[in-house]
Structure 1
Amino acid sequence: MSLDGWNRVLVLGGIRSGKSEFAESLVADAATVRYVATAASADDDAEWAARLAAHRARRPVSWSTEETASEPRRLADVIAAARPDETLLVDDLGGWVTVLLDPAHQPADDTATIDELVTAVHGCAARLVLVSPEVGLSLVPATPLGRAFTDALGVVNRAVADVCDRVVLVVAGQPAQLKPAAAPASTSGPRPTANAVAAAGTTVPAQAGPTVVDGGVPAPAASPPVTTPEVPVGSASAGGDVNGWTAPTMSLPVAASGLVIQPGMELPMPDEYTGPQSVDRLATLDVPGIGFGVLEKVVSFAAATQGTPTPAPWRSVRVLLLHGDHEGGAAAGTRPGESARRADQARAGQGVLARLAAEGGASLQVIEAPTAAPIEHGPALTVEQVEAALRYGWRLAEEAVDAGVQLLVLAACGAGTEAAAAAVLAATAGAEPPAVLGRVVTEDGEFDDAAWMQRCAAIRDALHRIRRSSRDAKDVLAQLGGGDIALATGILLGATARRTPVLLDGPVGVAAGLVSRDLAGQARHWCLLADHGGHPAVRLAADVLGLDPLVELKLDLGEGANALTVLPLLRSVLTLAAALPARPDRDKTDETPEAPVEEDEPDFREPEPDGPGPTSTEPAQPAENSGSRAG
């Protein structure tokens, strides 16, 4: 059993169930592992000492071991201080609880210590595997100490499971995944936890479907269904009875003030070591040519985002198609209803995007964004709509990761999206709108210069209107961006928080990347740009974000479709990089080279001077008497 897309895993199991071996297999591909041992040693217990010795003997020599038994509160500090490039294996929480309850550590605030541990696990930047005994299937212990242990360990297991990405139960050596569970057929999203609701100060009502409240902000509603084009399986996101744009989510930094997404958030970064290691490994593979060329960047990116020098190809991919129109001059030259037709096509499994998704085995989710008001006259969205869209996008990313998705593809089909993206680019990067706004092409393939000038005028008037306004991320989204770019920004942030890469393709995606810099600068490092498609805004935004397009096919199939066209190529490269063996002569080249034979003569000798002068290049020795006299 393999687990994909995880950052924090809790492995449960009974005694001798094989839980430790399974946990060790999860980190077997890591270059280095820090093994955190929690159990106290017992010199007077030979059988217990033998068990600990067997555990030590099983660990590879590249692993380092850290003991926390002497001070159980230090486990939280070790986990919280772990770096993003590290891999931690904690074995196990049962030993930790035993030490915590030991009379030698009393009186102690056990509840506070457990809370500290859960907080550290939730915010851990490293890849983390925790092992813990499952004691809830046995009889209630007959002794007070036994009951205290089972009660405390049960609390720890439940709390840690809540903040882990994956939970696995090992029974007789056979792992069974408990979280995320298989999604039942339902039209509603996951129920937010009571703690999250209380933290956000939100009361979650029960509603049967979406409604609209004052200001045009959607009330809590079900997530759009996820479909697999041309495959008769359609299922919505898993969950309870309520969810929507304003529903809180456990992965958000919820504050008591209700502020959820704010500038300066600290989100995870990709592994800074495994990317270069994967490129070095490519040079050793048995290929007849000189290698992978520019597609080495794909292998390096996948290695960094997966945390391994041997990344696997992305098998589970989800396309998020954002449909949100922009009114006013931004959509000049667009036939009314065209974007809605494209969205309906995708839902029905038809059209370019759905067919390419079916060909690549990707699922497709069509998300409706609120229509943006004309930016030349006023804000595109209200502040409340922006906040709701950001949170909704974050939740969509979380739902995808919980369903096992390994790669997200951003797509868009709204009217006026190019002009809105150009406006965002002008506001955030100082670009000139006419230079980054693509020409308008009619259905007959002719250029509509009048519509292009109308779009330019709308952007010019919008920028003039906000010339004295703040240019922070949320203000830019409210004034210029609109619902689709705000949703895309939330998706990028949510994917970053869950260490999931995003394949960009088009103006909406790169505009969201520019906005996300002010909220969390780490987001752009989880983005991969397939092709700029000849679009001037995408070219400039990619340069600002430091994203190099992988190919230059000059495709214009619609935002997201170009990325799906390139996806099989990316998968092929990753498959080759993972499956090819090393060159047969690699063993010889890896051997330590023989020491060069010392020669009597150096490789280079200073030529002797032809005329009078010093005949040696050796530094002159100081005279015995530093003084001098004329002779």
Structure 2
Amino acid sequence: MSADGWSSVLVLGGIRSGKSAFAEALVASAPSVRYVATAVGGEDDPEWRGRIEAHQRRRPQSWTTEETGADPARLATLLAEAKPDDTLLVDDLGGWVAALLDPANQPNDDVATVTALAEAVRSCAARVVVVSPEVGLSLVPATPVGRAFADALGTANQALADACDRVAFVVAGRPTWLKTGAAEPGIVTDVQAEDSTAEVPAAPQHDAMTAAMTAAVASATPAKPLTFGEADRTDRADADAPIPRDTVIEAGMDLPLPDGDAGPDARDRLERVDLPGAGIGVLIEAVEFAAGTQATATPRPWGRVRVLLFDGRHDGGAAAGADPQDSERRAAEAEAGEGALARLAATADADIAVVRVPASGAMEDGPVLDAATVDAALRQGWELAFAAADDGRDALIIGACGTGTDAAATAVVAATTGTEPVAVLPRVLVPGGRYDDEAWMRRCAAVRDAMHRVRQEPRGAKDVLAQLGGADLAVATGAVLGAAACRIPVLVDGPVGIAAGLVARDLSSQSRHWLLLADAGRQELVRQGADVLGLTPVLELGLDLGEGANSLAALPLLRSAIALAGLLPVHPALLATPGDGGLSDDDAEFIEPEPDGPGPASV
């Protein structure tokens, strides 16, 4: 067993429960991972191929893939051959059982094969995480083949649960530990989460550079904050299971999820409200999102919103064609309540916190941050989100005006999703509406050299920030995590927000569910990164006003849709009696009226 308490973990969950993402987060900090794919067949099924490709895009490039395919015995062989410094992720046991039951592998002693696999996991020298479907909560299959699969998988799950050090059950992205030990770092059990006397590791001491960045971020204050009445305040003190402010930021963090029922309930309610037309179109996605994050089928529009405007500088080729003085001018304008961003913020009843961070190194030459600075930046972003919650802000918007951020975000997206950088790196637009293609090529070269430099480096979330991301992306990542901890939605619309969302997802899979993509704009980087995050743009306006400004421009429309959905009553025609909540599904069932007189003659 390793120093932090586990060598093997079984992750159970239903279809689309988030079990694979949780398992990937458990091994995200490993220098390299051997991903064992058990699926076989499906070459003629486009939908199945799409699922496999989605899994492939999530894997860092440092991971290698082994396929057991139609040979179930190969899995035990891989486990037996693994070295102590290896990390194996097996996804999933359902594919392995399907191959085991294949007629081509019969006759076969299936029980003996399962027992051998459990023993291979128990005696494996490497770290092992096994993902498996939990089918025991569904109905008994109606076919002999289905029953055989359910029985075999249930037997395999029980055998693996006994063999593994830890067992987690994932439901709607929320893990519950079924088998665990006491006081183990990195894995929080239900008992530990409820124990208010548990000690929290003290924050590490950082060097002078870290302290300078901490001071720079802590000094950020909202520019010309707006005032609101007390009736508009959101009382977050009564929220269930509040996340401690001093929570350690690390891979596998357990953060809240939006309410899984409120969103669909809000969608269903919209079919009955007193709207003069056929509905609110694509804006229903914003209503459903707001309902889930507010845990109510009648959400209210976001009252107070804060824009976190990150002003960071990236050295080297990432900043080719950029003017640092122009970046500073835009940040100063936002602080003074001037410029496009500030005017949009005033229209949208939002305030702006300008967050200046120290410069990050040239990604092509070496790491852009040290590990201590990454931890400090994540913590400061976390604190910014908690400060917004303390100030009663209902939502956050990620904005950026630094130099070289597009290239840094491109490198982060490429490292976390496998996207080809040259296909998504935004073009360099200079004043006057002209594109500087020479500067774009220099940025491409910087990203290419950086990706080549880190090809053998670890691809954990913090490693990516240290090697490629920089201070502004690290603070933005911490803000996304902190917002999820405070149950505050985050509107993203540009490269920094998308890159921060991807890194935050690798630290806590729940964080992505608090992100809303108001408009994807015209950048392919945003679209591809959002697709991996599972974010669909609510609007297709094609805005290109600058990161953060796009969301501010769309915010009034989103608020209007949420207000209509939450405030309008049920249509009178759907009321059973005046003042009731509307007809239920049973009440609304069509009842054929009694005929008035003889009907048509039948022959």
TM range (shorter): 0.5 to 0.7
Q: Which residue of 1 aligns with 2:14?
A: none
Q: 2:433 aligns with which of 445, 454, 460?
A: 445
The answer on whether the counterparts of 2:214 and 2:380 sit within 8 Å (CA) in structure 1 is no
In the alignment, is residue 252 of structure 1 matched against residue 254 of structure 2? no
In the alignment, is residue 414 of structure 1 matched against residue 416 of structure 2? no
In the alignment, is residue 329 of structure 1 matched against residue 317 of structure 2? yes
In the alignment, is residue 391 of structure 1 matched against residue 393 of structure 2? no
Q: Distance in 1 between matches of 2:227 and 2:294?
A: 31
1:564 match: secondary structure = helix
Q: Distance in 1 between matches of 2:225 and 2:252?
A: 42
Q: 2:542 aligns with which of 554, 560, 585?
A: 554
Q: Distance in 1 between matches of 2:378 and 2:532?
A: 22
Equivalent positions of 1:160-559 (< 5 A) are 199-200=201-202, 213=208, 218=213, 223-229=218-224, 250-253=244-247, 260-559=248-547
Q: Distance in 2 between matches of 1:597 and 1:411?
A: 60
* Superposed displacement of residue 370, structure 1: 2.0
Letter paired with 1:489: T
Distance 1:537 1:415, change over 3 A: same
The answer on whether the counterparts of 1:228 and 1:358 sit within 8 Å (CA) in structure 2 is no
Letter paired with 2:426: G
Q: Distance in 2 between matches of 1:460 and 1:485?
A: 19
Letter paired with 1:314: W
* Superposed displacement of residue 223, structure 1: 2.3
The answer on whether the counterparts of 2:218 and 2:380 sit within 8 Å (CA) in structure 1 is no
Letter paired with 2:222: T
Q: Which has the higher contact order (CA 8 A, sep 6+)?
A: 2
Q: Which residue of 1 aligns with 2:25?
A: none
Runs of 5+ unmatched residues, structure 1: 1-80, 87-118, 125-158, 164-194, 204-210, 234-248, 254-259, 600-631
The answer on whether the counterparts of 1:330 and 1:458 sit within 8 Å (CA) in structure 2 is yes
Q: Distance in 2 between matches of 1:285 and 1:292?
A: 11
Distance 1:449 1:219, change over 3 A: closer
Higher fraction of helix:
2
Letter paired with 2:534: G
Letter paired with 1:380: V
Q: Distance in 2 between matches of 1:400 and 1:549?
A: 25
Q: 2:575 aligns with which of 580, 587, 592?
A: 587
Q: Distance in 1 between matches of 2:173 and 2:444?
A: 45
2:575 match: secondary structure = helix
The answer on whether the counterparts of 1:229 and 1:363 sit within 8 Å (CA) in structure 2 is yes
* Superposed displacement of residue 465, structure 1: 0.4
* Superposed displacement of residue 593, structure 1: 3.9
1:333 match: secondary structure = coil
The answer on whether the counterparts of 1:230 and 1:349 sit within 8 Å (CA) in structure 2 is no
Q: Normalised by the size of structure 1, how large is the TM-score?
A: 0.58
Distance 1:280 1:219, change over 3 A: closer
Letter paired with 1:462: A
2:352 match: secondary structure = strand
1:337 match: secondary structure = helix
The answer on whether the counterparts of 2:320 and 2:443 sit within 8 Å (CA) in structure 1 is yes
* Superposed displacement of residue 430, structure 1: 0.7
Spell out, residue by residue over 1:341-391, the C-alpha distance to the aligned partner (whole angstroms, 9 max, x if none): 111111111111111111111121111122110101011111111110001
Spell out, residue by residue over 1:245-303, the C-alpha distance to the aligned partner (whole angstroms, 9 max, x if none): xxxx94232xxxxxx21111111111100100000000001112110111000110000
How many pairs does the alignment contain? 391
Equivalent positions of 1:600-611 (< 5 A) are none
Distance 1:272 1:459, change over 3 A: same
Equivalent positions of 1:25-64 (< 5 A) are none
Letter paired with 2:394: Q
Q: Distance in 2 between matches of 1:452 and 1:463?
A: 16
Q: Which has the larger radius of gyration?
A: 1
Q: Distance in 1 between matches of 2:321 and 2:334?
A: 23
Distance 1:222 1:421, change over 3 A: closer
2:306 match: secondary structure = strand
Q: Distance in 1 between matches of 2:391 and 2:261?
A: 28
Spell out, residue by residue over 1:110-162, the C-alpha distance to the aligned partner (whole angstroms, 9 max, x if none): xxxxxxxxx989957xxxxxxxxxxxxxxxxxxxxxxxxxxxxxxxxxx99xx
Q: Normalised by the size of structure 2, how large is the TM-score?
A: 0.60
Q: Distance in 1 between matches of 2:191 and 2:556?
A: 36
* Superposed displacement of residue 85, structure 1: 12
Q: Which residue of 2 aligns with 1:114?
A: none
2:398 match: secondary structure = strand
Q: Distance in 2 between matches of 1:344 and 1:477?
A: 27
CA RMSD of aligned residues (A): 3.1
Q: Which residue of 1 aligns with 2:51?
A: none
Letter paired with 1:426: A
